[in-house]
Amino acid sequence: MIRLFVALALPAAIKAQLAMLSGGIPGARWVPPENYHLTLRFIGEVEGWKAQEVDEALANIRAPSFELSLRGVGTFERGGRISALWVGVEKTEGLSFLQSKVETALQRIGLEPERKRFAPHVTLARTDRAPPEKLIGFVQAHNLFRLPPVAVEHFTLYSSRLGKDAAVYVPEVEYELA
Number of structural domains (the chain) is 1
Q: Give first-to-last CA distance, the chain, whole Å.
A: 32
Question: What are the contacts of 150-153 at 24+ separation with CB within 8 A?
Answer: 150/10, 150/11, 150/14, 150/67, 150/68, 151/65, 151/66, 151/67, 151/68, 152/8, 152/65, 152/66, 152/67, 152/68, 152/94, 152/95, 152/98, 152/177, 153/65, 153/177
Q: Which of 6, 7, 37, 88 is catalytic?
A: 37
| pLDDT over threshold 80, residue 166 | no
Q: Is 142 a catalytic residue?
A: no
* Burial tier of 166 (Cβ tally within 10 Å: 0-12, 13-18, 19+): middle
Query: Do residues 126 and 39 lie in contact, with contact meaning Cβ atoms separated by under 8 Å?
Result: no
Give the distance from CA 12 to its chain's centroid: 15
Query: Do residues 71 and 88 lie in contact, with contact meaning Cβ atoms separated by under 8 Å?
Result: yes
The whole-number pLDDT of residue 77 equals 93
With a pLDDT cut of 90, the percent of the chain lying above it is: 94
pLDDT in tens, 4-24: 999 999 999 999 999 999 999
Domain encompassing residue 28: 2-176
- CATH number of domain containing 118: 3.90.1140.10
Q: Which of 31, 98, 121, 155 is catalytic?
A: 121
Residue 165 backbone class (left: φ over 0; alpha: ψ -120 to 50; beta: rest) = alpha
pLDDT in tens, 54-97: 999 999 999 999 999 999 999 999 988 999 999 999 999 999 99
The rounded distance, in Å, linking the Cα atoms of 133 and 127 is: 12
Q: Is 154 a catalytic residue?
A: no
Sorted by sequence, the CB contacts under 8 Å of residue 34 that are 6+ apart come out as 15, 169
